[in-house]
Chains A and B, each alone.
Chain A
Amino acid sequence: GENVEQHPSTLSVQEGDSAVIKCTYSDSASNYFPWYKQELGKRPQLIIDIRSNVGEKKDQRIAVTLNKTAKHFSLHITETQPEDSAVYFCAASRRGGSQGNLIFGKGTKLSVKP
């Protein structure tokens, strides 16, 4: 069935370095790709999303790139700060389906060391 693979499961970087999290998806009809950040003890919240009509989107220190041919998309965080430490989830849309229209990856725990 359709699924979203997310790597790595854990990532540790030094403050100021960049962090990259990658996801691949299987449904070629997917056209919406959101990223969620979940801080410890809090709910997941959308930080950035991209639709299939663009290849890249930026918002300050975060950016997402999409390669539809290869069916993968990535989250890039530059100049990481300790407050970026959290679990990040990618997701991909699909057309309806019995499990809804968003499929989530398993998450990446990012630790930014001061």
Chain B
Amino acid sequence: GAGVSQSPSNKVTEKGKDVELRCDPISGHTALYWYRQSLGQGLEFLIYFQGNSAPDKSGLPSDRFSAERTGGSVSTLTIQRTQQEDSAVYLCASSLGPTNTEAFFGQGTRLTVV
């Protein structure tokens, strides 16, 4: 079946513009994660959804970042007034639920702010 799908795969945007990144998790997966990965770096946790609920938004780097999930499925990560330091690969992952199961990653969105 289909894996985790992210779109766009690449995004170049001008500084100050808003961008929206999309994640389609595997059908039936209730847990969804967003991570940011700068070049050669580890996985920086951004936010976690269980269903449509995100209990903790403290991982988001600033108030320019927001995320939502609707219908327990698709999630969008929005970055307002983008800055050059926002340039990174944004990875989404989903897993079956709050029990101990594998997280499946999407291919990521490479964001470049010029």
Contact = CB atoms under 8 A, between A and B. Distances in A.
For the complex, would chain B's binding face be called helix, strand, loop or mixed by DSSP majority? Answer: loop
A28 interface: no
Contacts of B45: 99, 104
B103 interface: yes
B102 A34 contact: yes
A93 B100 contact: yes
B108 interface: yes
Interface in B58-98: 59, 91, 93, 95, 98
Nearest to B54: A98
Interface string A45-83: 110010100000000000000000000000000000000
A100 B42 contact: no
Contact of A98 (B48, B91, B102, B108): B48
Given A31-B100, A101-B95, A45 B105 contact: yes
Residues of B in contact with A, size category? 20 to 34
Given A89-B42, A104-B43, A107-B43, A96 B98 contact: yes
Contacts of A106: 42-43
B100 A32 contact: yes
Contact of B102 (A49, A95, A99): A49
Interface in A15-53: 31-32, 34, 36, 42-46, 49, 51
Contacts of B98: 95-96, 101
Nearest to A103: B45
A110 interface: no
Interface string B29-40: 001010000001
A21 B100 CA distance: 22
Contacts of A31: 100
B112 interface: no
A114 B101 CA distance: 35
Contact of B48 (A46, A89, A100, A105): A100
